[in-house]
Structure 1
Amino acid sequence: MTMGNGTVSILLGDEYDDALKEVLRTVLVQMGAVRVAGEWGVGGSQELETLLVEVRGERVTVEAETFVGLSITGRDEVVGEIDRRVKGLLEGGRR
């Protein structure tokens, strides 16, 4: 989803997919991501975990929300690269 000003949000998959979360974590470490902030909360039956990281001078938000999924939001170039790397690692693991 494009949000204007070169900002996009990509749904990577299910929020409960531990393998996906681990691959995303690996990609962020490989890209030199630095944690800026993080929050966790529960509202009724929904849980929301938000992580703000800085990657190559750009802020990227990672959100895991019940019934929504695991998503990343930020500048299209950085988010696109994260998405490609995550998909590449996931595909490599399925061979």
Structure 2
Amino acid sequence: MKDAMRQTKHKYLKYGFHHFKISPKEKLTNEQLRETINKLAQEYKFNPEDITLIEHTKKRADTTASDKHYHLIVPHYQPTQCKALDTKNGFS
């Protein structure tokens, strides 16, 4: 994440990284999580090897939902493409 912030300053960009929260209803297998990340990578055009993934366990309001969720941190600047992350399909 520090590298992402350094790239932001070096490339005069506004953002250092983007945060995606993956909150599944059911517990994901490692393969399902990998598939989810790869689908996000295809949609937003980032390299899945450049991410930071944090697994977080917390009781959910919906007690039938999995207590595990994930925080996916993606650098805004994509060095393999030499441009910023494509967020045209994103929303706030």
Which structure's relative contact order is higher, taking Cα pairs within 8 Å and 6+ residues apart?
2
Which structure has the greater CA radius of gyration?
2
The structure richer in strand per residue is: 1
Whether these two folds match at TM > 0.5 is no
